[in-house]
Structure 1
Amino acid sequence: MQRPPAGTIPDSPGSYQFKDAHGRVIYVGKAKSLRQRLSNYFQNPRNLPPRTAQMVATAETVEWIQVRNDVEALMLEYNLIKEHRPRFNVRLVDDKSYPFLAITMSDDWPRAMVMRGSKRKGVRYWGPYGHAYAIRETLDLLLRTFPIRTCSDNKFRHHERIGRPCLLGHIEKCSAPCVDAVSKERYDELVEELSRFLDGDTDEVVRDLEAQMRDAAGELEFELAARLRDRLGSVRKAIEKQQMVADRSEDLDVIGIADDELEAAVQVFFVRGGRVVGRKGFVIDKVEDLTAEELVGNVLEGLYYDYPPLGFPKVVLVPTPSEDDDLYERWLCELRGSKVQVRVPQRGDKRTLLETVTRNASEELVRHRLRRASDHNARAQALNELQEQLGLPEAPLRIECFDMSHIQGTDYVGSMVVVEDGLPKKSEYRRFKIRDVAGNDDFAAMEEVLTRRFRNYLQERETPVSEREGRFSYPPNLLVVDGGKGQLNVAVRVLQELGLDDEIPVASLAKQFEEVFLPGQPDPVRLPRQSEALYLLQRIRDESHRFAITYHRQLRGRRMTRSVLDDIPGLGPTRKKRLVKELGGVTAVKRASLDTLRGLSWLPDAVADAIYEKVHGPPASGAQPNATRQSGP
């Protein structure tokens, strides 16, 4: 890569992006001064750290975007990393989905539940927790004191319809709002009390229960007093599960890090009101060379850029100062709306707590190393074996596999799955609905799919880098088709017609004897039965088959479940759902008269006419389909 002309790089804050020969972003960075930072890359490669030197050698161009200040540069860098996922940037490799305790505050009758995955609007979260069973045990204890519903919406409506509560209502673990056994005001109070308790405000709850128990005993209501005593015991057990580690007024996030040359394990304890209310752990792949200070900065970005479920703390404890503590404090203050400190505890309880969290990170790193050693070695061995056994010019770091699926020629579909570095890259999977093949012809279907895929690649290759969509921008190091010699010949013919036969190696995998066929070789290559290379090809082939079957079933199910109400102008999914619900089903809609349909105040007359015409044919002339609805007497 050539250095940009002198004086063209601005001396201002911004983000820079290195790109490879295909225009793919391979590294994103940020800088207070783009000129000073980029000049560090254009020196003798021997003076650069090995992975940085490899990145510069891979890059073809460098671009940059100027911003007003270093906080904006930090935010822009993170957005670009999320968008492009550059191969030389550090990345989160642990995909564990942690469970949260959640309350659906936007519901008429909020529901407590255990949730995973992406966060939803109108839901309050507590956690994350290390294990789902820990949340369920805590929730089971708290329902005796705060009996809010945990049932699904369907179950709630079912019991509302039959007028009887479920078992939880009978054993007093639910206040049974489905049968109006509790007023809306009292139910909202229960939700608010449970929320305060989960926020760490436990003393008031305990005092209230103790006072109610004494009052009940004083009025000789011993049965009620006994129930309150049991509830108090449940609350105290739940409190014991929340370890007290700081003063009640303190909100902390404590970050522990343990790392080696390749990866870093991170553990985070969330402390609210002095109690540990959640924890989270993840692993960072150190693709670039990082100092301890830079690693802390990357951890802070990944942890807080997407709004955390528990909000932002007042203090973040880290094991070592970041590369720019002032930058991260200003960024967090801007996100929180008030002061946030990032500091390293030197002594006392907070230092002890940080050491505990760091010890958790060290133990997780040891466990991860054991998993990593076996997995990474197996993947590297598989790629090397494929290169050797199939006579490939280089190890197939990107493999694409294609498969077809249909039933007697109907709902014909094709699939393309992508494996990079021996791991599935699901973001680049593609599905094809066959357009030009009539009947049962796998060879013609395979030809259509491969032609569409590689024509798109050729078009994107000729497109300026800034205008590429990225869907088919990169060629595979190995193209695999599911089948025998017939499918292989189709793939070879398509690549020859497009002029790609010298650029893209191709092979087919026959399922009967797990034989690999190569162009120009009459006999198949038989990979050793227990080899990692064969195992990798089998997994790729099975994944492409699964992906194709899934898409085929979707299309078939969609076709078989089509309704008479589909494709009616003006009747979208929302109106259709409301129409079916109000009239009592699709059959009821079919039986409805034109006057009934027009009588629905929210349904335009034109749409009502279109529904009636779709079901019954054009209305009689006396029905006046275009008459406007009258208002008033």
Structure 2
Amino acid sequence: MEKETQQEKIERIKRELAAVPAEPGVYLWKDAAGEVIYVGKAKQLRARMRQYVNFQDDRAKIPLLVEAIHSFDYIVVDNEHEALVLEKNLINQYSPFFNADFKDGKSYPFIALTKGDVFPAIKYTRERHRSDTKYFGPFTDARAAREMIDIARRVVPLCAATCADWRQLARALEKDPLAFMKRDVRPCFDAHVGLGPGACCGAITPEEYAVNVRRIERFLAGSHREFIDELTEEMRAAAEELDFERAGRLKSRIGTINSLTDKQHAVCCRDLNADVVGFFREETVAGVHVLVIREGRIVNSNEFVLNRGTDVPDQDLLRNFLMRYYDATTTIPREVIVRTLPEDAEAMGEWLTAKLDSAHGAKVRFTAPQKGEKADLLAMAETNARHALMRYKVRTNYDDKRINNALLQLESALALDAPPMRIECFDISTIHGSYTVASMVVFTGGKPDKNQYRRFKIKTPLSEANDFLSMQEVMRRRYAPERLNDERFGSKPDLIILDGGKPQLTAALAMFEEMGIDDIAICGLAKRDEELFVPWQDTGPVVLPSGSASLYLVKQVRDEAHRFAITFHRELRGKGMTASILDEVAGLGPVRKKALLAHFKSFRNLKEATLDEIKAARVVPEEVAEELVAVLAQYNGQKEAKEARLARAARTDENAGARDAGAAEGSEDGRGAN
């Protein structure tokens, strides 16, 4: 059987999609080996899946995904909410390559309550697969999780899963449900110091113990204020009953909660119960920072690193993270604050509302604030996400690995003899041929080498913008023999990148041929589609893979050249506009111009200064000051006259428009009369 071509495969899949129903559900794209490579959900399966093979989805990863798919499956459900839950479960099951994922793949710490036991215990764990255990987290700081367990047990005495006496009691209860009533043993150490309630020695019944469990659940969920009020009432009741020992213990617990609250940063109103999710993306990775805010205070913060950051659009990356994060945690907020709302924010809100299962009927909502206190919190989370990604990159030497991969990929894609250790990139900046400049930026070993940056004023007379002549001049000046031998310009480059595509490449090659240079690799970068044009390939440009390290490096080099050229162009333009006026003043040379501008701080202040103020500066002679004032007055008069002409023209246009409108209204009235 002949191998199926890419076009034949797409046509086959299109035909098969005709049988897919237009109903809500989840679809699974598979590769030739039958492995699931992407899982998604849709309100209408057929229409959504056709967008892939018709290339109507503009996400960067779609061409690569379509190239890899060979078949598909789908599951029909009743509504979008069910599709969301099923999609989340299938992503967890298959871990598809094209779905965003956690970068490091490690498990995160949780605080767990063993609800399946008669006397549930609290524990620190990294597993979360037991259905009879309630989990709080995830925590990205293991120390913070352990400290929270210690604080919780000081507030509400509870058995620890690490206690040998508790484990012995649990085994006894498996054989005899009333074993706790028959035990005649000494209290464990935790019970002696007030961290445990004494279940091991029969000092508490399962019903009384259950009250403690419910309290600690509320405490771990962040409901501290309500908890303090409850303990305060108990303390007062104990004092009235003259049970001062119990009142003292309750006071100590209240003090523990207050000390914890003092350490937590108060950020906003008392009633804010929200998670603030901040993202920072760079190349194929993204940092995420979640601020957990309960009762207006930051009680916890978690940070994560996500894989395939650039290949996945913001909406997909945010949505995939939220599904993974809230599937793992049982601590559901009333509000999730994000930069952009997920496409299916309503369905996700229903899913989280079901997980919250509030006795008061509270709902979870997504918000994307643009200003105010919540927007400030979002900015804080995004800043911390950037730092989280930076720490990850330092810890894993990510930049060095990425740069090595990028240079090797460029060597292969551009058919170079060796990795391009020195890259020079050129860009032209001009306005209709005026103040035309060029920039040269240098990347050595894949990193900016700013000491080697150079900038050029284009000397070729230009009546209008001409990037080709400008590029030829720069090539001639930079790669002249005397410049190639000049140590100040560094060594000969391994690769030249021209910002502008094929026309700029053709102009540069013509100049190289004239100069007899044929041993430097050169390419032109088209801005629109990030395509590289090379001299040795007539069939079309070289297209670097989307999201690849090589494409990221090329973009970084191009953007730096553009930034450097624009900065120089604006600098020259600003100086030229100022110099053109002051040059008309007789007796005002470069030294006096510089002194005047230094005294008055700016050209605006100078042109608004009076004759007495200029004379008082004692920078120029009186006759030069008088000439300067006359030139500036003429300049200001011309400017005012131009503004007046523009104002009169605008008023004329308004009056003409009013007359036309009146005429039109009159004609309509006339037609109505007829």
What TM-score do the two structures reach when normalised by structure 2? 0.48
1:258 and 1:266 in contact (8 A); partners too: yes
Distance 1:137 1:212, change over 3 A: same
Residue of structure 1 equivalent to 2:40: 29
Residue 213 of structure 1, CA deviation: 5.9
| Aligned pair partner of 2:364 in 331, 340, 349 | 340
| Aligned pair partner of 2:330 in 290, 309, 313 | 309
Residue of structure 2 equivalent to 1:123: 133
- Aligned AA (1:178): C
Distance 1:380 1:254, change over 3 A: same
Is 1:323 the equivalent of 2:334? Answer: no
| Aligned pair partner of 1:281 in 275, 279, 303 | 303
Distance 1:256 1:223, change over 3 A: same
Residue of structure 2 equivalent to 1:361: 385
Q: Deviations over 1:104-154 (max 9, x none)?
A: 333222322222221433333333333333343344344344222225464
Residue 26 of structure 1, CA deviation: 2.8
Residue 265 of structure 1, CA deviation: 1.7
Residue of structure 1 equivalent to 2:563: none
Distance 1:7 1:153, change over 3 A: same
| Aligned pair partner of 2:98 in 76, 88, 99 | 88
2:165 and 2:200 in contact (8 A); partners too: no
Q: Which secondary structure state, in structure 2, belongs to the residue aligned with residue 29 of structure 1?
A: strand
Cα distance in 1 for partners of 2:55, 2:123 equals 58
Cα distance in 2 for partners of 1:177, 1:379 equals 59
Residue 66 of structure 1, CA deviation: 5.0
Q: Which secondary structure state, in structure 2, belongs to the residue aligned with residue 4 of structure 1?
A: helix
Cα distance in 2 for partners of 1:197, 1:124 equals 14
Q: Which runs of 5+ in 1 are unaligned?
A: 389-633
1:318 and 1:344 in contact (8 A); partners too: yes
Residue of structure 1 equivalent to 2:70: 60
Is 1:264 the equivalent of 2:286? Answer: yes
Q: Deviations over 1:441-482 (max 9, x none)?
A: xxxxxxxxxxxxxxxxxxxxxxxxxxxxxxxxxxxxxxxxxx
Distance 1:20 1:379, change over 3 A: farther
Is 1:9 the equivalent of 2:9? Answer: no
Q: Which secondary structure state, in structure 2, belongs to the residue aligned with residue 282 of structure 1?
A: strand
- Aligned AA (1:4): E
Cα distance in 2 for partners of 1:378, 1:297 equals 26
Distance 1:200 1:295, change over 3 A: closer
* Residues 233-632 of structure 1 mapped to structure 2, 5 A cutoff: 233-286=255-308, 289-304=311-326, 306=327, 308-310=329-331, 312-333=332-353, 339-374=363-398, 377=401
1:251 and 1:313 in contact (8 A); partners too: yes
Cα distance in 1 for partners of 2:266, 2:53 equals 52
Distance 1:271 1:204, change over 3 A: closer
Cα distance in 2 for partners of 1:209, 1:58 equals 60
Cα distance in 2 for partners of 1:60, 1:106 equals 45
Q: Which secondary structure state, in structure 2, belongs to the residue aligned with residue 114 of structure 1?
A: strand
Q: Which secondary structure state, in structure 1, belongs to the residue aligned with residue 17 of structure 2?
A: coil
- Aligned AA (2:32): A
Cα distance in 1 for partners of 2:87, 2:227 equals 45
Cα distance in 1 for partners of 2:119, 2:315 equals 47
Residue 229 of structure 1, CA deviation: 4.5
Residue 167 of structure 1, CA deviation: 2.4
Residue 177 of structure 1, CA deviation: 2.3
1:253 and 1:317 in contact (8 A); partners too: yes
Cα distance in 2 for partners of 1:301, 1:152 equals 32
Cα distance in 2 for partners of 1:216, 1:61 equals 70
Residue 364 of structure 1, CA deviation: 0.9
Larger radius of gyration between Structure 1 and Structure 2: 2
Cα distance in 2 for partners of 1:171, 1:195 equals 22
- Aligned AA (1:170): H
Q: Deviations over 1:48-76 (max 9, x none)?
A: 66643233233334555555554444444
Cα distance in 2 for partners of 1:329, 1:231 equals 36
Residue of structure 2 equivalent to 1:165: 187
Residue 165 of structure 1, CA deviation: 1.9
- Aligned AA (1:101): I
Residue of structure 2 equivalent to 1:397: none
Q: Deviations over 1:240-299 (max 9, x none)?
A: 344444544443222111112312222223334444444433222227833222322222
Residue of structure 1 equivalent to 2:586: none
Q: Which runs of 5+ in 2 are unaligned?
A: 1-5, 170-179, 413-674
Is 1:132 the equivalent of 2:115? Answer: no
Residue 376 of structure 1, CA deviation: 8.3
Cα distance in 2 for partners of 1:290, 1:90 equals 7
1:55 and 1:88 in contact (8 A); partners too: yes
1:127 and 1:277 in contact (8 A); partners too: no
Cα distance in 1 for partners of 2:399, 2:287 equals 17
How many residue pairs were aligned? Answer: 381
Q: Deviations over 1:82-118 (max 9, x none)?
A: 3433323322223333323333333222322222221
- Aligned AA (2:36): V
Q: Which secondary structure state, in structure 1, belongs to the residue aligned with residue 108 of structure 2?
A: coil
Cα distance in 2 for partners of 1:30, 1:157 equals 44
Q: Which secondary structure state, in structure 2, belongs to the residue aligned with residue 148 of structure 1?
A: coil
Cα distance in 2 for partners of 1:167, 1:360 equals 41
Q: Deviations over 1:327-347 (max 9, x none)?
A: 434554565566332120222
Residue of structure 1 equivalent to 2:508: none
Cα distance in 2 for partners of 1:238, 1:78 equals 35
- Aligned AA (1:23): G
- Aligned AA (2:335): V
Distance 1:329 1:217, change over 3 A: closer
What TM-score do the two structures reach when normalised by structure 1? 0.51
1:128 and 1:279 in contact (8 A); partners too: no
* Residues 61-76 of structure 1 mapped to structure 2, 5 A cutoff: 61-62=71-72, 64-76=74-86
2:30 and 2:70 in contact (8 A); partners too: yes
1:52 and 1:288 in contact (8 A); partners too: no
2:39 and 2:99 in contact (8 A); partners too: yes
Cα distance in 2 for partners of 1:196, 1:214 equals 21
* Residues 97-112 of structure 1 mapped to structure 2, 5 A cutoff: 97-112=107-122
1:138 and 1:238 in contact (8 A); partners too: no
Distance 1:81 1:325, change over 3 A: same
2:284 and 2:307 in contact (8 A); partners too: yes
Q: Deviations over 1:343-400 (max 9, x none)?
A: 202222222222222222111111223345449839988xx9xxx9xxxxxxxxxxxx
Residue 236 of structure 1, CA deviation: 1.9
| Aligned pair partner of 1:193 in 192, 196, 215 | 215
Cα distance in 2 for partners of 1:335, 1:138 equals 23
1:51 and 1:287 in contact (8 A); partners too: no
Q: Which secondary structure state, in structure 2, belongs to the residue aligned with residue 102 of structure 1?
A: strand
Distance 1:377 1:237, change over 3 A: same
Distance 1:152 1:52, change over 3 A: same
Cα distance in 1 for partners of 2:167, 2:316 equals 53
| Comparing 232-241 and 215-224, the one that deviates more | 215-224
2:136 and 2:329 in contact (8 A); partners too: no
Is 1:175 the equivalent of 2:197? Answer: yes
- Of Structure 1 and Structure 2, the greater helix share is in 2
Distance 1:171 1:378, change over 3 A: same
1:9 and 1:34 in contact (8 A); partners too: no
Percent identity (aligned)? 34
2:59 and 2:312 in contact (8 A); partners too: no
